[in-house]
Every structure is written in C-alpha cells, then in structure tokens.
A and B are shown apart, each in its own frame.
Chain A
Amino acid sequence: MSTAEATATLEPVESTRFTPSAQGWIARLVVHVLIFGGALLITAMVPGYWAFRISLAAIYAIIGLSLNVVLGYVGQVSLGHHGFVGIAAFISAWYVTTKAGCSLEQGCSLSSFFVATALAVLSGGVAAGLLGLVALRIRGLYLALITLSYGFMAETAIFQIPALTRGGAGMPAPAPDGFTSDNRYAFLTLAFLALVIYIDWRLIRSKVGRAILSIKHSEPVAASYGINVTAYKTMAFVLSGMFAGLAGALLAFRVENVVSNDFDFSLALLWVLMVVVGGLGNRVGVVVGSAFFALFPFILSSFGTLKNFFDKHAIEPELVGLALGAALALFTIISYQGGIGEQLSPLTRWLGGKPFTRHPEEHAAPKGHQRKKLLSRMGLDKSGETPTEESAAVETPSEPVEEDA
C-alpha cells in the first residue's frame, strides 16, 4: 500500500489552525497600541534625565539583539562585545570630530552623524567577521576565551591609541542637529532599535535564520540540506558585529564624549547576562531583559533611601546590575528556562494572533486518538489495521474531534 493510495481513500484531516475572531483582533490591536503608544508617550513626556536612560535601554536592547545572534542563534559565547561596541564608538566619534569638523560648541550635522554611524556599523561588521573566521575553527569554551582576550586586547591596545581616543580626556561626539535634546535623541535610538528588530525578524523568517538555526543543531545535517555552513556562520558573526557597531555609535553620540573607561569587561559580562535572563533566541525577551538591565540600577538608586545607601558605601549602580544579573541568570537557568521571553510567551503569542497559552503544542498537534488514526493511515501503526479493541475505539463516532479550534 503506497502513501498516495492510503491518503486518497480517506477524508482530509480537519484543520486545527487557530484564527481569532473580529473582536479578538480588535483586542489585540488595542493592546499593541497601548504598549507601543505608551512607550512613545513616556519617552516624549519624561524629563531629560529619564529620556537619557531610555536611550540607554534602547541601545542595550540593540546590543542584546546583537549578542543574541551569536549566543542564541549560533550558540557560541562572545565575551568581547565591549570591544566591538567600543571600537565602533571611537570610530564614529573620531570621524565626526577630526574628519567632519563637528564640535560640542557648534554641534554636528545629521549627514555627518549618518556617515559616522555607517562607518561604525562597517567597523563592527569587519571586526566580528574576523572573529567569525576564528569561530569556524574553534568553538565553545575556547572560542569564549578567544573573544575574552579580544576584548582585553581592544581595551589595552586599541582604546589607548591617542589619535583615535585622545587618551583619558576622551573623543567628543556631539549629538546630531535636531536630536540634541535627550528626549529627541531617545526617539532616534528607538527608531534604530525598531530597524534592528525588523532585521532580526526578517532573519528568523527567512532562509538565513533557518540556515543558522540548522547549523546550530547539526552541521552535517544542515550541509546535506544544501546549506553553506561556512558562509552562514560567518554571516551571523558579521551581522552581530554590525548591530554592535550601530549600538557603539549610538552610545558615543548619547554621552557626547567617548572615554575608554566606558567600555570594560564588566559591560561585556552584563550584556551576556541580560541576554541569558531575557531568554536566548527570544527577540521580545532579549529586548525586555536588556531594557530592564539598563533601567533597573537607575530606578533603584532614584529611591531616596537606597540612593543614600549607595552613596554612603560608594556602590556603583552598574555593580548592582552585575550582581543582580548573576543572581537572575542562575534563577533563569535553574527554574525559569527560557527567561523573561518564555514568561512573556503567552502574551506575545496572543498578540501574534494565537491563543493565550503557555503550551502551543497542545493546540497544534492532534490528540491521541486522531494521531493514532493518522499513523494507521500512513501504515506506520499496525494496530490500526488489525481489529483490536484499541483500533475499534478509534473508529467509534462518539469520539470528539479536536475541540480547541
């Protein structure tokens, strides 16, 4: 009995795909508007020093998505991301100050800003591409060590080149015209975050993402599916570096004066932690987790009593983030696998037009009796052909058919 014959004689399988009603779509639209409109409204209304933190949250989210490509999609650890981000920040600052003639007094034209950002993206892509070539040959712990030493190399060698960084005084990077206020600059970073999210979404929904995820699972299988393993692995690193480069440029124009001390190893560690806590490979989780780590120390220290405590003991808010990050990462690994993204998954699934559930599998896969019927139809389950009690039960019409559609 061939498959074609077997399927031809049986009725088609009823579709179990969920589609929301008209009210369901309206409810989803309203929640979308509330979330995104709320975020934009907050950015427009809050005082400057809060907007200054929101732009950091957006930039951290870009860095998180950058690391997520390497950590979540490729499955390799990068402990040298502060190197990519830092080099890109210095290159963009170096360009606007020494080549485009910008200064903190006279400001900087928008076109110079975009050229500087493009240079930063390019530098990040090239630097990470070189690392990607290493990653083709080395992986796991050894690759983590290579990235670690790359980061330290950047810190101790590249960030000390006076022509690029002007030593301890730092390289000025005036914010572009029209975006000099903290609130407006926050909108600019949010726009770039939207662009990165869009690219990340296209990545996962195209052959590129499928190829990279296949390579992570099994390189021989991916190759035998016709995927160029070398090219896609390198591409993933280049893309990660480009995101990191963009984030570097945005960081530079945010603080308007780039100092090498701004980019140290503890940052790279914090970024890895925020991606793990956010949820590896989960876009929404990574963005939320990154924003949380950017905002949380600030929120903590804005409470009077805690701020006094921090000041009294000279505790850096960043240190709090790192300690908290380690604790949350442990928590994530032990009891909440999938991180923030997994916890938010019912909501994100619902917003995407699916039911509000933690277990989408139960809504997609057929229930026991139906699966058995299908297997016997395919000739894979022998019990369906011999008249045993089990298969007799399968055929009884009283059995309910898929009730969750």
Chain B
Amino acid sequence: MTNVLEVKNTGIRFGGLVALDDVNITVPEWEIVGLIGPNGAGKTTLFNCIMGAYQPNTGSIWYRGRDISLLATHRRTALGIGRTFQNIGLIRGLTVLENFMVAEHSRISYGAWGALLGMPRSFAEERRLKRNAMEVLDFIGLPHLADSHLDGLPYGTLKLIEVGTVLATDPDLLLLDEPSSGMGPDEAHEFGERLLKLRQTLNLTVLMIEHHVPLVVGVCDYVYVLNFGKILTEGKPQAVREHPEVVAAYLGGEAVDHTSEADPNTEPEDAGAPA
C-alpha cells in the first residue's frame, strides 16, 4: 500500500511562536486519517503547510513519493490535493454554478489569452464545463440554485456546495477542515456515512481535522493527536480515545481525574477543551 501523503519533520514558527514542531504524518492510500487536538494546536496551520499556503521552516511534504514542498498551491491542486476550509471556502462574488466552474479550473485546456480573443475552442469547452457543473449540481440536488448568489443560502447548503466544488477539482486526496462544524450529532453521523460512501465511489484518501469525537471514531482508520504544535500520540481511534494524555489535553482534565494525577505535566493544558 502506497503512502499518498507524507509530512516529514515539518516545523514552522511565526516570530517567537512555534506553531508546528517536528510533525510527522503518514496518510496511506484509501484511508481516512483523523487529525484532532484542541483549538490552537496547529491543525489548520498543518493544512496550510500541506497546501503550500505557508512555507514550513523545516521538513518536507511528500505526495505519492514526490517532494512537493516547493510547489505553489495551484500546482498541488492540479496534482490531486483538494481542500475545504474551516469557514466556508467559496467565492462570494460568483454564482453557485460559477463556483463549480472555478473549481474545474485546472482541467481547462484552452489558453487564457486565446479565451480573450474568443477562440472557438474556448466556447466549446465553456459549454462542456457548464454541463459538467450542472451534472454535479444535479447530483447534490441543487440544480435550481445554479444562478443564485451565495449570500442568503443556509449554512448547510453552503457546506454541501463547498464539498461539491472541492470534488469538482478531481482530488485524490481530500483535506477536510472541520467538516462537521455547525452540524448536530445526527447530521454529523450522517455526514460520516456519506463520507465513507464517497470514498467508495470516488476512491478517495482523506485527511480530516475534526472535533466531533464520535465521528472520528466512526469513520477514521487512524488518528493523530496534535497539541501545542507537536504530535502528542497516534494510533487507532479507539486506542487514542482512551490514551490518558489525550483525554487530559483534548477532552479536558476534569473528565478523568486519575489520569491527570498520573501525568501532572498535562495539568495546565486543560484550557484547550473544544466547544
């Protein structure tokens, strides 16, 4: 089994703040890997490093055996890494349909200057893009929203559109940043089932930041716990959930008093319990 993504000894600092310190993560083909940790642990920073939005100070990022550390973000997308954002990553000024067409950007073959001069090929391809986008919209059940703007659409719909647009970039590896935020427990459960189905049909590998513990336990094959920029522990979700340091750092110290006695170092980290 090949490793789709490898994060090797990655570290980044902002001024005096060490956001990530010697982080190692491996995402094997076809696995759903969870990344958990309290707020401010550096999870989204790690996503930014993987996508190339930040340049790490140390270490390297490997995608399918290739060092991509120096590639620009759009090149990484073209390779097959898709990413959702914590606050919905859609383009507000464009319509729903146009958002899908933007997402298909790296698969457009006509040249930018040729398009401005109205080359016949660009017209034909624009029609094809539009058809593709409408098909995806049909699939997620929102064809009637094609021409509407994003403002005023409900949060859940926007989330659905975002996942749809990221799938439209044709990813191999999906980076999901808190997909269940804003969802209730039932919805989160349903989302987990959908994700498993999606992996089946589209052959996806997933790295997912998630706070919702039942969802993590339900869908993830493997879990990394990040705390203060370091990997605290890793393992199967069940094992990680019962790991004393994780319980203390992530779930809050008061939940299991005996563990904080076992390791007094974790005592001051209580504050990071998630909402």
Chain A residues packing against B (C-beta within 8 Å): 1-4, 6-7, 13, 15-17, 198-199, 202-203, 205-208, 210-211, 213-214, 216-218, 220-232, 235, 239, 360-361, 364-366, 370, 374-375, 377-382
Contact = CB atoms under 8 A, between A and B. Distances in A.
B116 A374 contact: no
Nearest to B52: A223
A214 B144 contact: no
B254 interface: no
Contact of A206 (B48, B116, B186, B194): B116
The dominant DSSP class at the A interface is: helix
Contact of B116 (A208, A227, A361): A208
Contacts of A378: 140-142, 156-157, 160
A65 B258 CA distance: 70
Interface string B152-168: 10101100100001000
A232 B102 CA distance: 13
15 contacts: A3-B141, A17-B147, A202-B117, A202-B122, A210-B98, A220-B73, A226-B103, A229-B73, A364-B147, A365-B144, A365-B152, A375-B157, A378-B160, A379-B190, A380-B156
Given A206-B126, A214-B91, A217-B91, A225 B102 contact: yes
Contacts of B184: 382
Contacts of B238: none
B125 to A, nearest CB: 9
B233 interface: no
B197 interface: yes
Contacts of A228: 72, 74
Interface string B123-150: 0001000000000001111111111110
B122 A206 contact: yes
A217 B103 CA distance: 14
A282 B81 CA distance: 35
A221 B148 contact: no
B169 interface: yes
Given A16-B144, A214-B94, A217-B92, A7 B72 contact: no
B85 A216 contact: no
Given A223-B72, A224-B89, A226-B106, A202 B118 contact: yes
Contacts of A202: 115-118, 122
B93 interface: yes
Given A211-B102, A224-B73, A218 B160 contact: no
A366 B152 CA distance: 12
A377 B157 CA distance: 12
A225 B165 CA distance: 8
Contact of A218 (B74, B91, B152, B187): B91
B261 interface: no
Contacts of A222: 91, 102
B143 A13 contact: yes
A1 B187 CA distance: 11
Contacts of B193: 1-2
Given A2-B197, A378-B141, A227 B74 contact: yes
B105 A2 contact: no
B101 to A, nearest CB: 6
A326 B203 CA distance: 58
B156 A381 contact: yes
Contacts of B142: 374, 378
A7 B77 CA distance: 30
Interface in B171-218: 184, 186-187, 190, 193-194, 197
Contacts of A231: 112
B141 A198 contact: no
Given A210-B101, A379-B190, A7 B141 contact: yes
B157 A380 contact: yes
Contacts of B197: 2
Contacts of A239: 116
B160 to A, nearest CB: 7
A224 B99 CA distance: 13
B108 interface: yes
Nearest to A195: B117
Given A3-B139, A378-B140, A203 B116 contact: yes
Given A3-B140, A6-B141, A13-B143, 7 more contacts: A16-B144, A208-B115, A214-B94, A218-B89, A218-B91, A223-B73, A229-B74
A203 B126 CA distance: 12
Nearest to B112: A208
Nearest to B129: A207
A361 B149 contact: yes
A380 B160 contact: yes
B61 interface: no
Nearest to A4: B139
CB-based closest 4 A-B pairs: A226-B106, A223-B73, A206-B115, A380-B156
B90 interface: yes
Contacts of A7: 138-139, 141
A205 B126 CA distance: 8
A15 B134 CA distance: 12
Interface centre among B110, B144, B145, B187 (most CB of A within 10 A): B144
A365 B194 contact: no
B53 A220 contact: yes
Contacts of A229: 73-74
B51 interface: yes
B133 to A, nearest CB: 11
Given A210-B102, A223-B73, A361-B152, A366 B115 contact: no
Contacts of A199: 116-117
Nearest to A360: B147
